[in-house]
Amino acid sequence: MRNQIAAANWKMNLTITQAEELLNNLLQQPKQLSGHQKVVFAVPFPYLSLAKNKVSGHANYFVAAQNCSNKKSGAYTGETSAEMLQSLGVEYVVLGHSERREYFSESNVVLAEKVNIALDYSLTPIFCCGEPLNIREAGTQNSYVEVQLKESLFHLSAEQIQKIVIAYEPIWAIGTGKTATADQAQEMHAHLRKVLADQYGKEVADAISILYGGSVKGSNAKDIFSKPDVDGGLVGGASLIAGDFAQIIDALK
Measured from the CB of residue 214, what is the shortest distance to ligand 13P in angstroms? 5
Reduce the DSSP state of residue 134 to 3 states and report it.
Answer: helix
Q: Which is nearer to ligand 13P, 164 or 200 (CB)?
A: 164
Contacts of 194 (CB under 8 A, 6+ apart): 205
CB of 43 to ligand 13P, least distance (A): 13
Task: Give dist(CA 161, CA 209) in Å, integer.
Answer: 11
Between residues 200 and 210, which has the closer beta carbon with respect to ligand 13P?
Answer: 210
Q: Does the active-site annotation cover 97?
A: yes
The distance of closest approach from Cβ of residue 202 to ligand 13P in the complex, given in angstroms and rounded to an integer, is: 28
CB nearer ligand 13P, residue 80 or residue 98: 98
User: Nearer to ligand 13P by C-beta: 5 or 238?
Assistant: 238
Q: Report the alpha-carbon distance of residue 220 to residue 154 in Å, rounded.
A: 32
- Give φ, ψ of 126 to 5 degrees: -100, 95
The residue (of 129 and 174) whose beta carbon lies closer to ligand 13P is 174
Binding site for ligand 13P (CB under 6 A): 9, 97, 169, 174-175, 213-216, 234-238
> Among all residues, whose Cβ is closest to ligand 13P?
236
User: CA–CA distance from 164 to each of 75, 158, 227, 240, 242 (Å)?
Assistant: 28, 11, 20, 25, 27
Rounded CA separation 59/33 (Å): 8
Round to whole Å and give the CA distance between 111 and 128: 10
Integer Cα distance of 225 and 6 in angstroms: 10
Q: How far is the CB of 96 from ligand 13P (least distance, A)?
A: 11
Which member of 97, 99, 131, 189 is catalytic? 97
On the 0-12 / 13-18 / 19+ scale of CB atoms within 10 A, 75 is exposed
Annotated catalytic residue within 106, 131, 169, 189: 169
Q: Shortest approach of ligand 13P to residue 171 CB, angstroms?
A: 9
Per the annotation, the verdict on 169 as an active-site residue is: yes
Positions marked catalytic: 97, 169
